[in-house]
Amino acid sequence: MTGVAAIIVAAGRGERLGGSGGPKQYRMLGASTVLARSLCPFVEHESIDAVLVVIHPQDRERYEAAVPRHPKLLAPVAGGQIRQQSVLNGLEALSAFNPEKVLIHDAARPFVTHGLISGVLAAVRPGTGAIPGTPVADTLKRRGPEDNVAETVSRDRLFAVQTPQGFVFSDILLAHRDVAMRGIADLTDDSAVAERAGMQVKIVAGDGGNMKITTTPDLESARSRLGANLPDVRTGNGYDVHRLTGGDHVMLCGIRIPAERSLEGHSDADVGLHALTDALLGTIGDGDIGSHFPPTDPQWRGASSDRFLAHACNLVRRAGGTITHLDVTLVCEAPRIGPHREAMRSRIAQIAGIDEGRVAVKATTNETIGFVGRREGIAAFATSTAVFGSIGEKRE
């Protein structure tokens, strides 16, 4: 292979992060994992031909669950005890492909950009690696005995360096083999390996946004940056229709209304409450009214539909949801809904245990067209809104 490969180093245990959520590269950041975010810009970069992730031997399942398939993505390889060994394992695995250049990136940096990758890649030459760095802005002190300052260190020409770090593939493979053979095991980045092997390494412009996630506050700040701490507001919709047949009343939104015909079907055939029940189940992805209350089960024949709505409300609350709004639209030629609207709102609010101000009941005719227009049936559409904490906290 000519071209460019990328190694994403994801074999660490992330012990500094603490908590019970597992290694940091598999924690959620918005809707995907830290690892998936870190490798995506490489997979999507037009100059990169193959991406290889080095994982902890015990993380195979986590990896499969965390990373979407992509043709550029090679099978992951197992890392070693220390970062240096993990990178060497990745390089050895890539030697079968023999790329011209390689970029080595830490999975804990999920905000790497296309531009940063291009900048590093453009500076790589035979015998010369390239690393992104930003000038150190803080004043630096060296600590002496008893927490006293021993000296102020000049920050002149000091840079904080990041990944990805880029090299000619054969250069860095030989450098890693060389330091490993000499038993050197304390090098914290690949530039240090290259330096030990006598290579030149050029610093290119780093990106202040290319943060590394090491601690829990780092993860929190990464999440706020993504808006992952936004409230987890979910909207569900529901639809129902029942046939009109002989009778003297209809049940709509929990209210019995005298009418020339009745609705037939499941339970008391209250299309309004059925649509609302489905809308609520929609916020938690928990099936529909038919899966909770099968129409074939005789115990629901003629049953009052408030039970279904109350059950769906309980399920949403059990899942951690707060029901904030219920909205239903009835579609019928008759009866007229206007005179019953307030009673319906009040009944729905009572069943759902929410304020009446959070319930809307609307109605329209179907302009005498279609099955509703021909008075063959009554339909209802419903929308429910529930809030489930915040998107970020929900996932751990």
Query: What is the contact surface with Mg ion in residues (CB under 5 A)?
Result: 240, 266, 274
Nearer to Mg ion, 109 or 274 (CB): 274
Cβ at position 271, least distance to Mg ion in Å:
6
Please identify which residue in the block is written with the tokens 């996630």: 213
Nearer to Mg ion, 105 or 274 (CB): 274
Nearer to Mg ion, 27 or 274 (CB): 274
- Residue 241: partners with Cβ closer than 8 Å, 6 or more residues away: 271, 371, 377, 378, 379, 380
Cβ at position 379, least distance to Mg ion in Å:
10
Nearer to Mg ion, 274 or 347 (CB): 274
Q: Could you tell me the sign of the dihedral formed by the alpha carbons of 79, 80, 83, 84, in that order? A: negative
Are the beta carbons of 196 and 179 closer than 8 angstroms? Answer: yes
Cβ at position 242, least distance to Mg ion in Å:
6
Nearer to Mg ion, 309 or 313 (CB): 309
Report the Cα–Cα distance between both ends of the chain, in Å, rounded: 41
Cα distance between residue 284 and residue 376, in whole Å: 33
Cβ at position 265, least distance to Mg ion in Å:
6
Nearer to Mg ion, 97 or 239 (CB): 239
Cα distance between residue 201 and residue 261, in whole Å: 85
Cβ at position 274, least distance to Mg ion in Å:
4
- Residue 35: partners with Cβ closer than 8 Å, 6 or more residues away: 8, 10, 25, 26, 53, 63, 66, 67, 107, 110
Q: Give the H or E element holding residue 6.
A: strand 4-10
Residue nearest to Mg ion (CB): 274
Are the beta carbons of 6 and 102 closer than 8 angstroms? Answer: yes
Cβ at position 380, least distance to Mg ion in Å:
9
